[in-house]
Structure formats: structure tokens, C-alpha cells
Amino acid sequence: MSLPLTDNIFATRCQRLARSIADDLSTRQCQEGNFPLPEFYAKAFACALWSRLDRKDYSDNIERALNALRMEIPDRTYHREFIDYALHAIPELSEPERSSILKSTKNQSPDVANWQILQRINRKTKSASRFNRLVDTLHQAFIRFRYWRDPIFLDRPGCFSAQYHAFCAALLSQNPRKADQEIAQNATQLIAKMTGSHGYANLLGRGAGQSFGAVCALYLLVKYGFHIQADAILSRIEETIQRAGTLPLNLLSPGPLPNNPGPANPATPGWYSYNRHDDYLAFAGFWLLRISELPVAAAAHPQPQPQPSSSPMIFLKSSPHYDAQMVLKGARSFDISPSPVVVSGHGPKARLLLPPTGGEQDQQSLYGPASIPLPAMPDGQVAKFQSATRLANNRVEITFSLAGKKGRRIIQFDDNRITIQDICEGASPEKPDMLRLLIDHRLMLTRLSECELIIEEPGIRLCCDQVISIDNKDAFTAAGAAQRITVKNTDQATLSISWENAHV
């Protein structure tokens, strides 16, 4: 019989992982104190991790990293808010020493929620003067008005990312102010709902599948007592480190770090041009250590409350066979879900069926038009997403435009079936390719007929009213290479994905 999950067990496991990452960072560190790959804030978070874990064991690493930080010449990409936050987490680092590192740099202050919250937290560590308290109150009001839509933290105005939702909530949860705690707890309810027992904490929006969001989600779930969901995330992190030999930036595609990681390398899916391996490695180690430092909660939290079906921003569906998630609104193509993200099954054996797609096409990445799961013309022109609307608790409609035509995608979510119907009507004699859904490359598709496929291991059947084509040309998701399901030269197609013979 397995032992009951407790915060002590989480603390032991997280400290073991933090020590492993700290050792990994110490080995990767160059003699002059930097890391071999470009980074923004890795040295600062590595120092915070080493100092809090064992200042004596890592004293040489800490000193070399602090010297490298002092020598750094800030430019327009200088992540001051992140570095300042990490420096304040280093025990016994004096204010003059922090000032010598930060020099006279100013905050970046982008219109992004997590940067704004970091700036506010950094300010609160300074003088508690009447002026600073006033500024904090005004800044808190600005953040709540601009980024908080209970129970959702926006990444940017009008945009949702599960990763940065978790980071914002984790930051606020460290503030003893009651209003901040209430927001953090409400936000954690949503994280628990999205994570379930499968352990994929951040599948929606910017940064899908990255370790950055996973450790922040884990911190909150442990802190507020969602033990089942926390164990699911932690188990996936432990398994990933065991398989990859390190903590990869992208947990959806675990593997050893290649010699030239980055957005142009097909071996590193989930990366964008601003991602840095050592940044995310040090950040994850720091937050894992913070989890081990959390006080023991009195009891596990009950199951999360159901997500309100009226949410205009996201759609969540959980059934005995699968979990599906979608973002319905956003500013850019990478903010929304033209195809649902679907996890088949529950618990440790859960598998990604339809992974997060798109990436950030306005940043250097693997994701181009070929990775947008919407209809396209034979010449490669891909449909442009226009809107997504929840028609009912289990029904979503997407509208799009393609070569002067108007189109609709209607997705019906039943307990053992997902039905996706594409309709694109117009006067043009040339008909588009429909569906173009991306299925994880690790799932084996077996053809039963021209219109029917099966994935034997999870017991999933895919049936279409048209002939199904399968290809993998330029098809990438956040989980890596993909198989594309397409119906050629038609203006209407309906695909049914069913779990009728699957074991619950």
C-alpha cells in the first residue's frame, strides 16, 4: 500500500531535485562565472539556489557567479526585475552588493503581468515608507484591473498563458497581504483543474509545456494542499530528469540537451528565441528548493471547484477518457487554440493526443504556417483565425477566413467522443484542405480503411466522412514532430475521435 502524500514527502523529493539541478549548474558553470549558453538571469537564480541550499559547498560557484554579475554590462534586454528578485532571495547579500550588481539600471516595465508583479515585489523588499506603501497600493490596483479576471491571470491584456498564470499566482502567494493570498488561491483552483491527475500543468498559451510554468504550478499546488495534482506534476518532472539526464526546458519533449539548442533546431521543440536553457534550469531549481521550504499544511485541500462554464477566455472539459483545453481569445495566433489540446487517459499513463500547437510565430521558432491546425489552400495559404465562442458547456465554434471564404469549425465534446466539423463555403473553384489536425508523433496511427484510423495502445478510433490523408511535412507542436490528419480538396469534413473501446 502506498504512503499518503504529505508536504514532508514533497519537501524531500523537491530538495533532492533542487540539489541535482544545483550540481548540474555547478558543473555547467564556466571558470569566469558565466554559463556556456547565452542567458539572461541564470547566474542570479543559480546564486540564490546555491546560497539557500548549501553556501559552503557551493562557495566557489557563488563567488564566481557574483563576480560575473558585477562585470555584466546591461543592455536593452537586461532582465532587471528577474535579477533583482533573485538577488533579494540570496541570504546575507547586502544592499550595497545588490546595488553593485544592478548598477543604475531601470526596470523594463513591459505591459506583461509577471514583470509588473516582480517589480512590485522587488519594491516591497525596500523601505516601507509611507510613499512606498502608497505606490504599492496603486500598483496593486493597476495589476488587478489590467491583468486579473477571476480566476484567470492574464499574460498580457486579453491573452492567457497557463505558464504565466502560474508564475503570477506563485509570486502573489508569497505576499502576506490578504487580497494577494485570495487571488493566489483562486488562481490555484484553476491550475488544479487544468492539471488533474495527468500532470501537464501548462498546456495553454505562451510557453506551453515549459519547466518554468510547471515548477510554479507545483509550488502553488503544494502550498495550498492539492496533493494529487502536485504529485502528478512532480512525478513527471522526476521522470523527465531521469530520462534526459537534466531538466530540459520543454517537459513535453524530454531528451538530452543537444550541442546547439534553440528555436532553429528540430531536436529542441518548445523553444522560442528568448528562451535560455540555463535560465530555466536555475529558475526551476530555485523554485523546487522554495517548495521544500514551505511549511507543512494541516490537511490536503479538497478537489478544485468546477470551472465556470461561462468563462469567455478558456474552455475546459474533463471526461473519464480525456481532458481537453482551449484558449478562446487572444491577441496573436499563438494565444488561441484553433484545435483543442487533448490528453488521453488519466494518471501516469496519460498521453498527449493533440498537443499544444502554433508556438510564437512572431519569434524565431520551429512553428510556421504549416503548424497551424486550420484548413489551408493547396498552395499553402493557411486560414486566418477570427473568433472562438462557447456555444454550450460542451460545444465550441471557431470562425476563420481563407482565400476570401468564410469558414467554421465546430467542436463537440462528449464523454467518450470529440467531433470536429470544418465547413468552408465560397465561390472559388479551388477547394481547400480541411482539418489539418496535428497528432503527437509518438502515437502509432494504424489505417483500418480510407476513412478510419486507430491508435491501438490508448484504444482511440478516428473516423471521417472523407478520405483521410496522413503526412508529417513541417509539422511541429510543442511536443515535437507531429502527424498531420488532412482531408483533401473539399469544403466540408467531419472527424470523430472516440474512446468507445478504451479502458477507463
CATH number, domain of 466, equals: 2.70.98
* Per-residue pLDDT tens digits for 198-238: 999 999 999 999 999 999 999 999 999 999 999 999 999 99
Query: pTM of this prediction?
Result: 0.95
- What is the end-to-end Cα distance of the chain in Å, rounded? 22
pLDDT of res. 7: 65
Q: What is the spatial distance between Cα 210 and Cα 197, in angstroms, rounded to a whole number?
A: 18
> For the residues 156-174, what does the mean pLDDT come to?
96
Instruction: Please say whether the beta carbons of 281 and 246 come within 8 A.
Output: yes
Bridge-partner residues for 405, per DSSP? 402
Cα–Cα distance list, 310 to 49, 157, 158, 315, 451 (Å):
41, 19, 16, 9, 36
Is pLDDT above 70 for 361?
no
Confidence of residue 4 (pLDDT cuts 50, 70, 90): low
What confidence category does residue 1 fall into, taking pLDDT thresholds of 50, 70 and 90? very low
Looking up residue 122, the CATH number of its domain turns out to be 1.50.10.10
Q: Is there a single domain that holds both residue 243 and residue 326?
A: no
pLDDT exceeds cutoff 80 at 5: no
Counted domains in the chain: 2
Which long-range contacts (C-beta less than 8 Å, at least 24 apart) are formed by 396-399?
396/315, 396/326, 396/328, 396/340, 398/338
Q: Are residues 251 and 376 in the same domain?
A: no
Are residues 465 and 387 part of one domain? yes
| Same-domain pairing of 372 and 336 | yes
User: Is residue 158 included in any domain, yes or no?
Assistant: yes
pLDDT digits (tens, 9 = 90+) for 408-443: 999 999 999 999 999 998 766 789 999 999 999 999
Position 224 in a domain: yes
Q: Average pLDDT of the chain?
A: 92
Q: Are residues 245 and 176 in the same domain?
A: yes
- The verdict on 123 and 175 lying in the same domain is yes
Q: What is the pLDDT of residues 245-304, one digit of tens each?
A: 999 999 999 888 998 999 889 999 999 988 999 999 999 999 999 999 998 664 556 667
**Spatial contact of 337 and 204, defined as CB atoms under 8 Å apart:** yes
| pLDDT the model gives residue 296 | 66
Closest CA to 301 of 200, 190, 189, 167: 189
The mean per-residue pLDDT over the stretch 107-128 comes to 90
| Residue (of 350, 341, 367, 503) closest to 437 by Cα position | 341
Confidence check: pLDDT of 482 > 60: yes
Q: Count of alpha carbons within 13 Å of 254, Cβ hemisphere only?
A: 14
Is the pLDDT assigned to residue 398 strictly greater than 80? yes
Q: Tell whether 241 and 328 lie within a shared domain.
A: no
- Asked whether 405 and 428 are in contact (CB, 8 A), the reply is yes
Residues 283 and 328 grouped into a single domain: no
Which domain does 191 fall in, by range?
7-256+272-292
Question: Could you give the CA distance from residue 225 to residue 395 in angstroms, rounded to a whole number?
Answer: 32
